[in-house]
Amino acid sequence: MKIPIGISACLFGQNTRYDGGHRLESLLVEALARSVTLVPLCPEAECGLGIPREPMRLEGDPENPRLVTVTTRRDLTAPMQAWAARRMNALVAEGIAGLVLKARSPSCGKRVAVHGKGEGKTASSPGFFAGLVMERLPTLPIADEEELRDPARLADFLARLPGRAAPSR
Ligand code: SF4
């Protein structure tokens, strides 16, 4: 049985983005699916924010940013934290061995701009869900699609998974 790996649902081709679209990475999905079982997840849709939904961004202290909608200024920090805690428990129970996350997303990105009160970007931080996962599961291999377009980095990511899921041809 192939080991399970979580993947941002929009990279898997599901229409979960704020605008109702996806960001299918077909070559990457195809390459990964030879070695692992992909488990799509979408923090923003699964925590009940709906599709489509208002765009959001990280704001405030880069060490402890808040997740806030851009126009109506809804603070989604608490609901996302509560959902992420439950989802991480489920991921651990499912034996998830790694995560492939959407780059630059305020929820999934590994490194995302953090905004001050105005338009200025003050620093960067992991996306909200990505940051919580890194904190709770610090040894879990995590990569984004931009990194994994590089075949050497993809091979390295697969080699870091428990059981060393070598890419098959
Ligand atoms: S980047 Fe993450 S939160 Fe945004 S649509 Fe994709 S899976 Fe959902």
Q: Is the peptide bond before 162 cis (omega within 30 degrees of 0)?
A: no
- Is 70 exceeded by the pLDDT of residue 77? yes
In a domain, 140, yes or no: yes
Protein residue closest via CA to atom 4 of ligand 1: 17
In this structure, is residue 61 part of a structural domain? no
Mean local confidence (pLDDT), 133-161: 96
Give the pLDDT score at 163.
Answer: 67
- Asked whether 43 lines ligand 1 (CB < 6 A), one says yes
Buried b (16+ CB within 10 A) or exposed e, 98-126: bbbbbbebbbbbbebbbbeeeeeebeebb
Mean pLDDT of the chain: 93
Q: Please give the residue range of the domain that contains residue 36.
A: 3-54+76-112+124-160
How high is the pLDDT of residue 167?
Answer: 45
Indicate whether 155 belongs to any domain: yes
Given a cut of 50, is residue 143 above it in pLDDT?
Answer: yes
Tell me if 69 is assigned to some domain: no
Ligand 1 centroid to 34 CA: how many Å?
Answer: 23
Question: Number of folded domains in the chain?
Answer: 1
Identify the residue whose C-alpha is closest to ligand 1 atom 8: 42
Mean pLDDT computed over 62-87: 95
Q: Is residue 117 part of a domain?
A: no
- Would residue 151 count as lying in a domain? yes
Question: What percent of the chain lies above the pLDDT cut of 90?
Answer: 89
On whether residue 68 sits in a domain, the answer given is no
Judge whether 60 lies within some domain: no
Tell me the residue type at 20.
G
CATH number at residue 104: 3.40.50
